Structure 1
Amino acid sequence: MYRRRRKPILWRQPFLLLLSGIGFVLLLLILSKILFVLFYLFGGVLLVAVVLWFAWRWWWYR
């Protein structure tokens, strides 16, 4: 009867652990940049929409 080969433990392979950490940090960095751009654009569109809404109300009710 033979023993099943166990999966290698991650912290016994420091190079793989280091690459995983670098990949995770890069993924977070890319996601934060994407979210920053999306919120920046959405904020600009929201600001323009509020200004147009106030201008329309002022023009409609004068």
Structure 2
Amino acid sequence: MIDDRKKLEKMKDKLRKRREKYKNLESELPENEHRILGPRNDIEYQKMKRDIKGAGDD
């Protein structure tokens, strides 16, 4: 039980460090490169998402 807690704490710490790392990377990117990390506002991405959703309805 104690080992599981230690493993869980290590995993949480790793995830926290990764989040901090990616936040730092995201802030260093120029504004026009936002598509690398999250193309959610991108027109092609939205179209692809609708196409996939429509294909699932068939």
- TM-score, normalised to structure 1's length? 0.47
Q: 2:25 aligns with which of 42, 45, 48?
A: 42
Equivalence for 1:21: 4
> Identity of paired residues, percent?
3
In the alignment, structure 1 segments of 5+ residues that lack a partner are: 1-17, 51-62
In the alignment, structure 2 segments of 5+ residues that lack a partner are: 34-58
- TM-score, normalised to structure 2's length? 0.50
Runs of 4+ in 1 over 6 A off after TM superposition: none
Report which structure shows greater RCO (CA 8 Å, sep ≥6): 2
Give the structure with the higher percent helix. 2
